[in-house]
Amino acid sequence: MAEAVGGQYDVVVIGAGPAGLSAALNLARARRSVLLLDSNRPRNAATLHSHGFLTRDGVSPLELRRLGREEVESYEAAEVHNALVTSVERSGGEFLVSARGVRGAANRAVVATAVVVAAGLSEKLPRLPSLRAYYGTAVHSCMECDGYEKAGEPLALIGETSDLAERAMLLSQWSTDLIVFTNGIGVVSDADESLLGSIGIRVERRPVADLAGERALMTGVLLEDGDVIPRTGAFVRPIWVPVLEYLDAAGPETDRDGFLRVDAGGRTSVPGLYAAGEVTAPGPQQLIVAAGSGAQVASAVNRDLVRARLGEAAPESEAHAIHEAGVDLSGVRP
């Protein structure tokens, strides 16, 4: 294995999505030395257009990442490096961060006073053979992000969770020509089915085999019994799974769903370790919300580092204190 490149930084930020880029940008502007590590595998790479991001409505997520990285790198105190973080360890009040270089970049083994976690989530989608062919064009997962473009279309809501009725009611704001597909797994109570029916939304409980379509155009939902129900678009309900094994040595507390427990400033149960964006409850939200989270956490990090320089203790993580009191912070996933 190639020798890792070292270095010492005020803050290492993990992940160059909106949360990580925003945190890195604001920390650089606070005159903090920042290393932003990113595996270059964005979860939303298939999405062609993102929406609801002020001044950037309609831009692709990849273009948003490019612009954000360009802005971060314009600051002398900031460095962006393509590498997959493999471990974060706390030692003597500092953090040892190891990362494996990607796309020809060098491995890194650096020391940081603080670490901001803004990456480490995978999404499990319904197992339909053609789903990826339509994902990001005819099929989406975020209603607030993409519902406007599907307004009035005959839509499918496909999922295997217990919150499908709630999601269908939300989706009805954009289209009431809607059928909920449980794939034989998702749970919709009789009462909820009756309520949905009162606004013209049908529940289909038969198992789904695949999506039907011609080239890039989705035309329907293919059921296992051979029936095809015409639909021109769909929203799927992902199951989000935090993938944070690289933090095992640091040992931050997580909620029952695996998301990092944090307080209002993004402080985890480990002093000096912070989290922003989708690795915290309630999970993925709009890109602009993630960016705001990154800015908020950056402010907390900078304030805590100032306190440390002046010999004052940083505030105890609210999340840790509440957990010690036996209160569950998990909440309801969106």
Distance between CA atoms of residues 33 and 78, nearest Å: 6
Fold of 126-236: FAD/NAD(P)-binding domain (3.50.50)
Confidence label for 330 from pLDDT (cuts 50, 70 and 90): very low
Top-level class of domain 8-123+239-324: alpha beta
Crossing angle of helices 190-197 and 164-171, rounded to 10°: 10
Q: Where are the domains of the chain?
A: 8-123+239-324, 126-236
Give pLDDT, residue 307: 95
Instruction: Dihedral sign for Cα 31, 32, 33, 37, please.
Output: negative
Q: What is the pLDDT of residues 184-238, one digit of tens each?
A: 999 999 999 999 999 999 999 999 999 999 888 999 999 999 999 999 999 999 9
Mean per-residue pLDDT, 48-73: 91
**Three-state SS letters, 238-266:** CEEEECCHHHCCCCCCECCCCCECCCCCC
Distance between CA atoms of residues 118 and 182, nearest Å: 32
Q: Residue 104 is encoded by which pair of tokens?
A: 């020809």
Considering the chain, what is the average pLDDT of its residues? 92
Residue 318 predicted with pLDDT over 90: no
126-236 matches 8-123+239-324 in CATH topology: yes
Distance between CA atoms of residues 293 and 264, nearest Å: 10
